[in-house]
Structure 1
Amino acid sequence: MKTRVLLPSAILLSSVFFSGCASPALVRVKPWERATLADYTMRSDRDPLHTAMAEHIFFSRETATGGRAIGGSGCGCN
Protein backbone atom coordinates (compact mmCIF):
# COMPACT_ATOMS: atom_id res chain seq x y z
CA MET A 1 0.00 0.00 0.00
CA LYS A 2 2.77 2.40 0.92
CA THR A 3 4.71 1.86 -2.29
CA ARG A 4 1.57 2.40 -4.38
CA VAL A 5 1.23 5.89 -2.97
CA LEU A 6 4.90 6.70 -2.48
CA LEU A 7 6.16 5.84 -5.96
CA PRO A 8 3.66 7.93 -7.98
CA SER A 9 4.04 10.87 -5.63
CA ALA A 10 7.83 10.68 -5.92
CA ILE A 11 7.59 10.55 -9.70
CA LEU A 12 5.20 13.50 -9.75
CA LEU A 13 7.36 15.54 -7.40
CA SER A 14 10.57 14.85 -9.32
CA SER A 15 8.93 15.65 -12.68
CA VAL A 16 7.67 18.99 -11.34
CA PHE A 17 11.10 19.76 -9.90
CA PHE A 18 13.04 18.89 -13.04
CA SER A 19 10.62 20.66 -15.37
CA GLY A 20 11.09 23.85 -13.35
CA CYS A 21 14.87 23.58 -13.59
CA ALA A 22 14.79 23.06 -17.35
CA SER A 23 12.97 26.29 -18.08
CA PRO A 24 14.94 28.41 -20.58
CA ALA A 25 13.51 31.58 -19.06
CA LEU A 26 15.65 31.04 -15.96
CA VAL A 27 18.97 31.44 -17.76
CA ARG A 28 18.23 34.29 -20.14
CA VAL A 29 19.29 37.77 -19.10
CA LYS A 30 17.49 40.57 -20.86
CA PRO A 31 19.65 43.27 -22.49
CA TRP A 32 18.38 45.98 -20.14
CA GLU A 33 19.22 43.80 -17.11
CA ARG A 34 22.85 43.38 -18.12
CA ALA A 35 23.66 46.92 -17.04
CA THR A 36 22.46 46.09 -13.54
CA LEU A 37 24.59 42.97 -13.38
CA ALA A 38 27.63 44.85 -14.68
CA ASP A 39 27.25 47.58 -12.05
CA TYR A 40 30.20 48.28 -9.76
CA THR A 41 28.20 47.40 -6.65
CA MET A 42 27.57 43.88 -7.98
CA ARG A 43 31.28 43.05 -8.04
CA SER A 44 32.60 40.77 -5.34
CA ASP A 45 35.97 42.57 -5.24
CA ARG A 46 34.72 46.15 -5.01
CA ASP A 47 36.38 46.68 -1.61
CA PRO A 48 40.16 46.36 -2.10
CA LEU A 49 40.89 46.14 1.64
CA HIS A 50 38.42 43.32 2.14
CA THR A 51 39.82 41.48 -0.89
CA ALA A 52 43.40 41.84 0.35
CA MET A 53 42.50 40.64 3.83
CA ALA A 54 40.51 37.67 2.52
CA GLU A 55 43.36 36.65 0.20
CA HIS A 56 45.89 37.00 3.02
CA ILE A 57 43.84 34.79 5.32
CA PHE A 58 43.21 32.20 2.60
CA PHE A 59 46.78 31.97 1.37
CA SER A 60 48.28 31.91 4.86
CA ARG A 61 46.06 29.00 5.85
CA GLU A 62 46.28 27.08 2.59
CA THR A 63 49.45 25.02 2.86
CA ALA A 64 49.16 23.32 -0.52
CA THR A 65 49.95 26.50 -2.47
CA GLY A 66 52.52 29.20 -2.17
CA GLY A 67 51.92 32.87 -1.68
CA ARG A 68 50.31 35.00 -4.33
CA ALA A 69 52.87 36.69 -6.60
CA ILE A 70 55.50 36.82 -3.87
CA GLY A 71 58.17 34.45 -2.70
CA GLY A 72 57.73 32.05 0.14
CA SER A 73 55.88 28.90 0.92
CA GLY A 74 52.32 28.28 1.98
CA CYS A 75 53.22 28.39 5.66
CA GLY A 76 52.28 32.05 6.07
CA CYS A 77 55.86 33.34 6.12
CA ASN A 78 55.55 35.26 2.87
Structure 2
Amino acid sequence: MRVVLLLLLVLAAGCATVKPQERALLADPIMQFDGDPLANPRVQHAIDNREGSHGGAGVSGGGCGCN
Protein backbone atom coordinates (compact mmCIF):
# COMPACT_ATOMS: atom_id res chain seq x y z
CA MET A 1 0.00 0.00 0.00
CA ARG A 2 2.81 2.38 0.86
CA VAL A 3 4.58 1.63 -2.40
CA VAL A 4 1.46 2.47 -4.43
CA LEU A 5 0.99 5.73 -2.50
CA LEU A 6 4.63 6.66 -3.01
CA LEU A 7 4.37 5.89 -6.72
CA LEU A 8 1.27 8.06 -7.06
CA LEU A 9 2.99 10.94 -5.28
CA VAL A 10 6.03 10.69 -7.55
CA LEU A 11 3.87 10.61 -10.69
CA ALA A 12 1.69 13.51 -9.51
CA ALA A 13 4.78 15.67 -8.93
CA GLY A 14 5.55 15.61 -12.68
CA CYS A 15 2.19 17.07 -13.70
CA ALA A 16 1.85 20.75 -14.54
CA THR A 17 -0.88 22.95 -15.92
CA VAL A 18 0.24 25.04 -18.89
CA LYS A 19 -1.56 28.29 -19.62
CA PRO A 20 -2.59 28.92 -23.25
CA GLN A 21 -0.23 31.89 -23.54
CA GLU A 22 2.70 29.70 -22.42
CA ARG A 23 2.07 26.97 -25.00
CA ALA A 24 3.61 28.98 -27.85
CA LEU A 25 6.88 29.23 -25.94
CA LEU A 26 6.92 25.50 -25.23
CA ALA A 27 6.11 24.66 -28.86
CA ASP A 28 9.15 26.63 -30.09
CA PRO A 29 11.50 24.31 -32.04
CA ILE A 30 14.38 25.37 -29.79
CA MET A 31 12.57 23.61 -26.91
CA GLN A 32 12.50 20.24 -28.70
CA PHE A 33 14.99 17.49 -27.93
CA ASP A 34 17.06 16.24 -30.83
CA GLY A 35 16.30 12.58 -31.43
CA ASP A 36 19.20 11.76 -33.72
CA PRO A 37 21.96 14.39 -33.99
CA LEU A 38 23.34 12.78 -37.17
CA ALA A 39 19.97 12.93 -38.98
CA ASN A 40 19.22 16.58 -38.16
CA PRO A 41 21.67 18.13 -40.69
CA ARG A 42 20.26 15.90 -43.44
CA VAL A 43 16.68 16.87 -42.59
CA GLN A 44 17.63 20.56 -42.44
CA HIS A 45 19.38 20.26 -45.82
CA ALA A 46 16.25 18.72 -47.34
CA ILE A 47 14.07 21.48 -45.86
CA ASP A 48 16.44 24.17 -47.17
CA ASN A 49 16.29 22.69 -50.68
CA ARG A 50 12.53 22.25 -50.63
CA GLU A 51 11.75 25.71 -49.23
CA GLY A 52 14.47 27.51 -51.19
CA SER A 53 15.82 29.15 -48.06
CA HIS A 54 18.80 28.76 -45.81
CA GLY A 55 19.29 29.66 -42.17
CA GLY A 56 16.85 30.89 -39.59
CA ALA A 57 16.89 27.60 -37.70
CA GLY A 58 18.54 28.41 -34.40
CA VAL A 59 19.38 31.09 -31.94
CA SER A 60 21.63 33.99 -32.86
CA GLY A 61 23.44 36.55 -30.78
CA GLY A 62 25.38 36.47 -27.58
CA GLY A 63 24.27 37.20 -24.08
CA CYS A 64 24.23 40.99 -24.39
CA GLY A 65 20.72 41.26 -25.87
CA CYS A 66 21.87 42.56 -29.26
CA ASN A 67 21.36 40.42 -32.33
For this structure pair, what is the TM-score category when the shorter chain's length is used for normalisation?
A: 0.3 to 0.5
When you count helix as a share of all residues, which structure comes out higher?
Answer: 1
Superposition TM-score, scaled by structure 1 size: 0.30
- Taking structure 2 as the reference length, what is the TM-score of the superposition? 0.33
Higher relative contact order at CA 8 Å, sep ≥6: structure 1 or structure 2?
A: 2
- If you compute each CA radius of gyration, which structure gives the higher value, 1 or 2? 1
